Structure 1
Amino acid sequence: MSLPQIVNLPQDLIDVLPMLNRRARKLCDNPSDAADLAQETALKIWQRHQSGAPIADPRAYAMTTLRNIVRAEWRTRLETDALEDDMASAPPDAMRVIACAEMREAIDRLPYDQAMLLKLVMTGETSPRVLARRIGVRSGTVMSRLARARARLRQEMGMSQTCSVTTLYEETSMN
């Protein structure tokens, strides 16, 4: 492996200055800022050269340095407003979406046979006979698995065992 060729940076720096100036003009609103940006970039390249650190490709190094300086300036210029309580907003159905997501996660944690039945019910199938035929068990088995699944969901979601799962939204929206 050969070492990178040592370049005559002062001449290479002179060769990159027109390119730096053109790029800086594209990035800045006024010519004065563009000239300052190009000069700052050239200064950083010169400082690196003076420190003895080799620069294999001055053109690429110059463009990267220019881009990094611009990004740093843009970050410091970003003006943000302080957040206040009245600025916080959420879509009207946000609590319902969160509750549904929590419910889906809780269903995924159920034993496979219970979760599968509840997912079938979620797709719209509510007839115990159809569910029983579909999974190959008796209707009574379907009913008991669904009852156990619902009881476990209510417990996991912190709901009373006597309340309907449809009250989940109302309970979460009050908190």
Structure 2
Amino acid sequence: MTAQVHRDEMRQDDDRAIIERSRRDPEAFAELYDRHAPAIHRYLARRLGRDLADDLLAETFLQAFGKRHRYDLDRADALPWLYGFATRLVGRHRRGEARFWRAVARTGADPAAGSADEGVADRVAAQSSRRDLAGALARLNRGQRDVLLLIASGDLTPAEIGAALGIATGTVHSRLSRARARMREALGGIDPLDFREVQFHG
């Protein structure tokens, strides 16, 4: 089952119906926020830390609200569309993102991940993995990092990522291939997507 099929099955009313309704009744857009804000916030926090994520979450949905009349109603799932706004906002904070990943690489402490319930041994192992992963992520160019983190954090398909970023699916595949190759080299042959539970979904 694909991620999109699963997401669609979880909903009584698909996103396009909400967006279409919001064109007549702007308050209906709040339902889209309630549905997708947690996923978008996690993604932003993964890339910039929680403090900036709070601000950019609001801006993501404000921009989406302003563009709702342009939404392609052939698309039942608006999550890739929302990730597109969020990713473009991250792009305005490239230096902040690089600092964030370097800080994680230095300390192993990711402010966007971890839990008080996590045991000491688990935290130490996770911090070691995060250092390696964060250092490698900091060395990717923005396009490669966007695609890799949308695949890992957003659980999106290459076609959905292409739609979110306004690039061809072939470009997504090419960037992902280069990103994974660079990451495997930096991580001693380990595929970066094997770190999802440690870093991307923590």
TM-score (norm 2): 0.34
- Give 1 or 2 for the bigger CA radius of gyration: 1
Identify the structure with the greater helix proportion: 2
Q: Which has the higher contact order (CA 8 A, sep 6+)?
A: 2
TM-score (norm 1): 0.39
